[in-house]
Amino acid sequence: MKLACAALFVVLCWAYSPIGIHIGLEAYSPGQLALLRFLIASAFMAIVVMYHGVQIPKRQDLPLLFLLGFFAVALHHITLNFGQRGVSAGAASVLAQSTPIFTVIISRCVLKEAVSMWRWCCILGGMMGAFIVVVGDKGIGDISLNGLLILLSACSWSVYFILQKRYSTRYSTLTMVCYTVWTGTLILMIFSQGLLSSLASSKIQINFAVVLLGVFPSALAYVAWAYVLSRAEVSKISIVLYLIPPTAILMASFILGERPSLWVVLGGGVVVFSVLSMSLESLFRRRRCDGETG
């Protein structure tokens, strides 16, 4: 029950993320919003560290930690925020779910990992679904290239995921999350100019939405997800993440009054089905290998 509640909490937090970004962009520039969001997250993670503690990083690992912060926080959220200026919250959540597709492509091209024909078909299907979402979000006559920026943010997260997975044995999950958030926030300080004036002039409701954005999707969700991963198999529990796009679309309809087009729903279904099929293939392959071993 604890695992189920934690997983549901993560889904709700990350489903709120595009909604909070949509609200925050009413008063802040994309760079300012990313910085403010992670200043809040950094402060919250510092409070968590006071109770749980983290490992002190080795000097030779500092470049790696800054690299993680760049891809997971700075580049990912800057491109995401810029992209959402022309994409609905629901469509943004769908496009962001394409991360596993880019993970497989990068693993094949850079790490030379083998990719089955089934996975290539899933990648093709996911790309077609993303294209349908980009074209159908605002209508064929008003195609926005901002969707490509969100796909770039998903690609950036894929790079972070690969790096984090390869070097996760060096530090605990909480340590990696904390230093990723902190180093990414330091990089985002280049957008600090004018932040205080924007903060003072923005409405209370917008600032409240940004505080929620910093505390829940950017901090608490990572801690909860680390708890879930420490007590369940990644291949099994990660399937719940595919609930994020429909949850985000539903939340956006109530909070923002968005009504997703039929094309967004169709394209989103294709993306989620393609990524889910890719994950299930890994799960079935692992079970088959365990059966042969047994």
Alpha-carbon distance of 211 to 241, in angstroms, equals 23
Q: What integer pLDDT is reported at residue 289 of this predicted model?
A: 53
pLDDT, average across residues 90-115: 74
Alpha-carbon distance of 263 to 129, in angstroms, equals 9
Alpha-carbon distance of 17 to 216, in angstroms, equals 9
At residue 288 the predicted structure's pLDDT band, cuts being 50, 70 and 90, is low
At residue 293 the predicted structure's pLDDT band, cuts being 50, 70 and 90, is very low
Q: What integer pLDDT is reported at residue 172 of this predicted model?
A: 83
Q: What integer pLDDT is reported at residue 142 of this predicted model?
A: 54
At residue 53 the predicted structure's pLDDT band, cuts being 50, 70 and 90, is confident
> Taking 60 as the threshold, does the pLDDT of residue 129 lie above it?
yes
Per the structure, the count of domains in the chain is: 1
Give the gyration radius of the chain's Cα atoms: 19
Q: What integer pLDDT is reported at residue 144 of this predicted model?
A: 62
Which of these, 13, 67, 80, lies nearest to 225 by C-alpha position?
A: 13
At residue 176 the predicted structure's pLDDT band, cuts being 50, 70 and 90, is confident
Q: What is the mean pLDDT of the chain?
A: 82
Instruction: Kindly report, residue by residue over 209-242, the tens digit of the pLDDT.
Output: 999 999 999 888 877 877 776 676 555 566 677 7
Residue 183 sits in which domain range?
2-293
pLDDT, average across residues 175-202: 93
> Taking 70 as the threshold, does the pLDDT of residue 283 lie above it?
no
Better pLDDT: 203 or 265:
203
Q: What integer pLDDT is reported at residue 209 of this predicted model?
A: 94
> Taking 90 as the threshold, does the pLDDT of residue 19 lie above it?
yes
Q: What angle do CA 183, 16, 273 make, to 5 degrees?
A: 100
Instruction: Kindly report, residue by residue over 144-167, the tens digit of the pLDDT.
Output: 678 788 888 888 988 887 787 777
> Taking 70 as the threshold, does the pLDDT of residue 206 lie above it?
yes
At residue 141 the predicted structure's pLDDT band, cuts being 50, 70 and 90, is very low
Better pLDDT: 53 or 1:
53
Two tokens at 283?
């799960």
CB atoms within 10 A of CB 139: 11
- Distance set, CA 42 to CA 61, 112, 144, 230, 283 (Å): 20, 35, 33, 22, 35
> Taking 80 as the threshold, does the pLDDT of residue 123 lie above it?
no
Instruction: Kindly report, residue by residue over 56-85, the tens digit of the pLDDT.
Output: 888 898 998 999 999 989 999 999 999 998
